Amino acid sequence: MKIHFIGIGGIGISALAKYYLYEGHKISGSDLNYPNVFSKEELSKIKFYLGHRAENLEKDVDLVIYTNAISKDNPELLKAKKLKIKTYSYPKALGELTKKYFTIAISGMHGKSTTTAMIANLLIKAGFDPLVIIGSKVNGFGINKEPSNFRYGKGEILVIEADEYKAGFLNHYPDIIVITNIEEEHLDYYKNLKNILEAFKKFIYKMNQRKKYQGTFSKLGKFLIVNKDDKIAYNLAKKIKNKNIKKIFYTLREKPKRLRLSVPGIHNISNSLAAYKVGKIFNLNDKKILKALYEFKGIWRRLEFKGYLNGAKIFDDYGHHPTEIKATLQAAKEILKKGKKLYLVFQPHQYYRTLLLFNKFIDCFKLADVLILTDIYSVAGREKESIKRKINSKILLEAIKTPKNKFYIKDFEDIKKFLKENLKKDDICIIMGAGDIWKLTERLFSKN
């Protein structure tokens, strides 16, 4: 089968492209930038087009899969519909895959990628050989053990990160759902918390809408695993009344005494408890579960250690929501030596998010000793100009009371210069954001 992916460089859709590639299908794809989520070997087998043009789509393509990030008037999508080629959004295509496996779907506003990786690692160590699709890169997941957002397993279990953006997870048909937390996010789509809760409720009931799984794990049933420490998620779960869905709760107050992790942060302890509960569903003993959790070393851009600058530790992080920022700073404080400083370089992501969560943003940087804000990152054409006139990084910085040492620096080269002049031995610096701030991290260690 010939499959064309529009927006093939996205962190989720690229994993699905890898699945079909490893299954022996002919893959082509396009994106606005050269993708950095494929290995050289993988990319050599993909017909890649830089930019979106109608001529990128060949007439003999059997299926087109597109990211939700593209516009409805994308020339390749329009041509596919004109030629009457079957088209699936990425969430829809992933949903079709969930029907073929015993599926574990990890959802929530924060911690999805790490929890997915923890669960996957646990099942790998236990010998289940799962297929994994995740919104980050994990060491050892690739065919040649390189970091990858996809693991090609031959077992009956599929582990996926179920994204709530634009209610994409309503296309999935899981057997086990994990909810790490629920709060206001993606308000450009949902508008309010009520709509978010309604979407999660529908997602939970998707477990009853798939045909019964007929494989080895068919007798396990349906499970909803929820973080009891998150009041919103817990209250939603309590309202779920269905005899076919078994509810399991986890809480920091009931963590196993022998639980030890190699990654810092209370939020990661919470994530590991979700993985622990999954392990118990598969009747794994504590020794095996706790060993696998301890051996987990973290994932790409989640407080990822990148190297030293002036003897200071540099970490890279994807966080872009106030809750994520607080959790990451707290984790960094755990490993910061006494008397040393914690620097945060933060690139806000999307004007709309920054505006709607403004009061939460001005309160989330308190654990940093030095804060540097750069310009708000926004995908071209996705936000209204009227929103951009209401908020910017200078306005945000002025409203922030703590830390006192705070700076707005627009240019990445100027930030690099600032850090080189100010970082001291054993300080910690986190480069954070969901836009292109990762390029700054690379520049810090480039020879140019």
Provide the CATH number for the domain around residue 103. Answer: 3.40.1190.10
CA distance 201 to 292: 31
End of a domain among 28, 63, 89?
A: 89
Q: Is residue 191 part of a domain?
A: yes
For the chain, how many structural domains are there in total? 3
Structural domain that includes position 78: 2-89
Q: What is the pLDDT of residue 31?
A: 92
Judge if 319 and 429 occupy the same domain.
yes
Q: Is residue 54 part of a domain?
A: yes
Judge if 206 and 116 occupy the same domain.
yes
Provide the CATH number for the domain around residue 58. Answer: 3.40.50.720
Judge if 346 and 428 occupy the same domain.
yes
CA distance 356 to 185: 9
CA distance 143 to 131: 12
Judge if 317 and 279 occupy the same domain.
no
Decide if 330 contacts 266 (C-beta within 8 A): yes
Judge if 207 and 120 occupy the same domain.
yes
Judge if 55 and 107 occupy the same domain.
no
Q: What is the pLDDT of residue 212?
A: 64
Residues 386-395 pLDDT 10s: 888 889 999 9
Judge if 128 and 253 occupy the same domain.
yes
End of a domain among 295, 325, 349?
A: 295
Q: Is residue 94 part of a domain?
A: no
Phi and psi angles of residue 444, each rounded to the nearest 5 degrees, phi first? -60, -30
Q: What string of H, E and C letters represents the secondary structure of 45-110?
A: CEEEEECCCHHHCCCCCCEEEECCCCCCCCHHHHHHHHCCCEEEEHHHHHHHHHCCCEEEEEECCC
The whole-chain average pLDDT of the chain stands at 93
CA distance 196 to 186: 9
Q: Is residue 212 part of a domain?
A: yes
Q: What is the pLDDT of residue 121?
A: 95
End of a domain among 249, 278, 295?
A: 295
Q: Is residue 343 part of a domain?
A: yes
Q: In one letter, which amino acid is 46?
A: I
Provide the CATH number for the domain around residue 374. Answer: 3.90.190.20
Q: What is the pLDDT of residue 213?
A: 65
Judge if 309 and 289 occupy the same domain.
no
Judge if 253 and 324 occupy the same domain.
no
Judge if 339 and 263 occupy the same domain.
no
Q: What is the pLDDT of residue 288?
A: 95
CA distance 16 to 24: 13
Q: Is residue 193 part of a domain?
A: yes
Judge if 106 and 78 occupy the same domain.
no
State how far the alpha carbon of 303 is from the alpha carbons of 52, 113, 149, 268, 287, in Å: 33, 13, 17, 11, 27
Dihedral sign for Cα 127, 133, 137, 141, please: positive
Residue spans of the chain under pLDDT 50: none
Judge if 7 and 79 occupy the same domain.
yes
